[in-house]
Structure 1
Amino acid sequence: MPTQTPESLQKFAIQDHLTFHVGNGNLNHDLVEARIVTPASEATILLHGAHLTRWNPTGTEPVIYVSPKSAFAEDKPIRGGIPVLYPWFASGWDGQHQPMHGFARITEWTVQSTHLDPHGDVTLTLTLPSTPDLQKSGYGQCAATLRFRVGKELAITLEVTNHGSAPIVFEEGLHTYFAIGDIRQTTTEGLQGTTYLDKRDNFAKKVQTERLLHYTRDVDQVHLNTATPLTVHDAANRRDIHIVKGGSDTTVTWNPWSVMTPTLPDLAPDSWEHFVCVETVNAADNRITLAPGQTHVMSSTVHVTKLA
């Protein structure tokens, strides 16, 4: 069972703006979630995995996709939303790390603070407890803090500090599932000229030569040494989704298409048509080595513009 309850978290609530609840009528779970309401948008963040499952700017279609078949359980990751990947991406830079994508997305994070600023934006700050699993894997002396700022923009900051006496190596990611009208009418801009590892072709190194990345089949690409802003052109919904990264040198984009979806039981048969993952990451050649006493900060800021 969750160790934090809505009652114990009442001191962090903000009247009319931030409340804590167990479960959600639409998603039918018994996990604790924070519900945020601002003049510009609304959001839902589960303490399990520090997992954002909803961000809806006022007057727009939902920006974040969650699979209708996702499990909402303490020992399972959520399919969709924004999973937090740490302290490794996938099975790690050496392919030997488990569980997949690390412990952060299946651990209950602790509420550290909340804040309402004069502009109406709400900030929720969570910390990752030093669990036995993290200690056993060598990350017990690291402090991970995740900060969500919800308003006209969705800004997420992951901060890792090494309190140990030796350097640590880790990977990290915000595995964002963007909701789109139709993947076949979606492109991503900002990756031209980058080298990527094509996971669908035995990790072959390739170069993105075109200005727009088109989705015409299953895609799983790890773009290295890229820090530029990105735009997801969601033509079916007549909008652009803009992503500005900080402290991130890797961008991952993924869609399972109809080919891979049947292998993923927590996706609906048509889920692949309605999302694209464009992820803020540090992985593979861009993994982080953090000296004792040092802090690394990675951030992702998202906003939406409507097209005429």
Structure 2
Amino acid sequence: MSQTIAELNEHFAIRDHVTFHEDEPGMVKLRIATSASEATLYLQGAHLTQWTPTGQSPVLYLSPKSALAPGKPIRGGIPVLFPWFGPRWNADAVAVTSPMHGFARVTVWTLERTHLDPNGDVHITLSLPPDETSRSLGYDHFATKMDFRIGAELHMAITVTNRGAEPMVFEEGFHTYFAVDDVKEVLLDGLRGSTYLDKRDDMIRKVQRESLFRFTRDVDQVHVKTAEALTIHDTNRQIHIAKEGSQTTVIWNPWTVLTPGLPDLAEDSWTHFICVEAVNAMDDRITLAPGATHGMSTTVRLTDKKR
């Protein structure tokens, strides 16, 4: 059952910290304010489109050409990918067309809880139960939750419970668009020694040899069996990314090669973001036993650039 703006503000608003709005028809969002940061979270997709620590520029990139409309994926922020990553690996198992990256990012989630803790952080919990769409795609017996903790750091977690009698196989991901000054000047630290599938080179398996990864062309790499924390070295700051429950790291930038084929990106969008994603996919796909629960989380924080 959908939640109206009036009902949401009556039951879940927190004075000076959480309010609900519908600036775009059919797109309900939370505006979140703490002493340490501001954020924007859409109920569709449990999609965080903004997180800006006090005194900083936005940490997340949102495309100026992104659709903000019911049923349309949002380009930027942190899309939640579930129950598959990219094209569905077992699409032949169902008769209907399976949407790219799963159904969770274009489904309206249910708000379960808002809370202001003694430290001043805002906590948000959303849930995604089975519905007609998920059932048509073969997912009928599951429970999914998203938890956000928003303050000086950003923490988000997804939990999936298998309520069926058979093992549940799925993929998941946080497809995070990190805002950077100039992608050509960015260095990414933490992937040295990892094995990756190069989606821009016929899925050939390669090894990351260098300590620091530099973006010099279009990139789409799936680093498997890796749980290491990463650091984005931007012009004036460092973005630190830690994760738990994720064994796959994906990095992506469309460069000038793919951008023209993506109508919801501006011509120069590629210069202002990199995607660094906490994922479980391909080699690290999850098989969840009946009654079991799996969790994946990521934490993001900023520091000034070391001089």
State the TM bucket, normalised to the shorter chain.
over 0.9
> Which residue is equivalent to 1:33?
29
CA shift at 1:30, angstroms? 4.7
TM-score (structure 2 length as normaliser):
0.96
Q: Does 1:109 align with 2:109?
A: yes
Cα distance in structure 2, aligned partners of 1:30 and 1:99? 20
Measured on the aligned residues, the alpha-carbon RMSD in Å equals: 1.3
Cα distance in structure 1, aligned partners of 2:186 and 2:88? 29
Q: Does 1:83 align with 2:79?
A: yes
TM-score (structure 1 length as normaliser):
0.95
Over 3 Å counting, the alpha-carbon distance change for 1:126 and 1:200 in structure 2 is same
Give the number of equivalent residue pairs. 301
Cα distance in structure 2, aligned partners of 1:95 and 1:254? 24
**SS across alignment from 1:133:** helix
> Which residue is equivalent to 1:17?
17
CA shift at 1:94, angstroms? 4.5
Mapped contact 2:129–2:142 kept (Cα < 8 A) = no
**Which consecutive residues of structure 1, in runs of 5 or more, have no partner in the other structure?**
none
Cα distance in structure 1, aligned partners of 2:90 and 2:201? 18
Q: Does 1:61 align with 2:60?
A: no
> Which residue is equivalent to 1:3?
2
Cα distance in structure 1, aligned partners of 2:135 and 2:25? 29
Q: Does 1:290 align with 2:288?
A: yes
**SS across alignment from 2:7:** coil
Amino acid at match of 1:83: P
CA shift at 1:132, angstroms? 1.0
Cα distance in structure 1, aligned partners of 2:149 and 2:70? 25
Cα distance in structure 2, aligned partners of 1:108 and 1:92? 21
Q: Once the two structures are aligned, what percentage of the paired residues are identical?
A: 58
Compare 131-140 and 298-307 and name the one that shifted more. Answer: 131-140
**SS across alignment from 1:9:** helix
CA shift at 1:93, angstroms? 3.4
Cα distance in structure 2, aligned partners of 1:9 and 1:255? 37
Amino acid at match of 1:148: F
> Which residue is equivalent to 1:121?
121
Map residues 75-224 of structure 1 onto 2, 5 A cutoff: 75-94=71-90, 98-224=98-224
CA shift at 1:140, angstroms? 1.6
Could you list the structure 1 runs, at least 4 aligned residues long, displaced by more than 6 angstroms after superposition. Answer: none
**SS across alignment from 2:259:** helix
Mapped contact 1:128–1:143 kept (Cα < 8 A) = yes
Mapped contact 2:196–2:222 kept (Cα < 8 A) = yes
Mapped contact 1:227–1:249 kept (Cα < 8 A) = yes
CA shift at 1:180, angstroms? 0.4
Cα distance in structure 1, aligned partners of 2:245 and 2:214? 26
**Which consecutive residues of structure 2, in runs of 5 or more, have no partner in the other structure?**
none
Mapped contact 1:92–1:171 kept (Cα < 8 A) = no
Cα distance in structure 1, aligned partners of 2:250 and 2:91? 17
Q: Does 1:48 align with 2:44?
A: yes
CA shift at 1:198, angstroms? 0.3
Cα distance in structure 2, aligned partners of 1:191 and 1:71? 33
**SS across alignment from 1:243:** strand
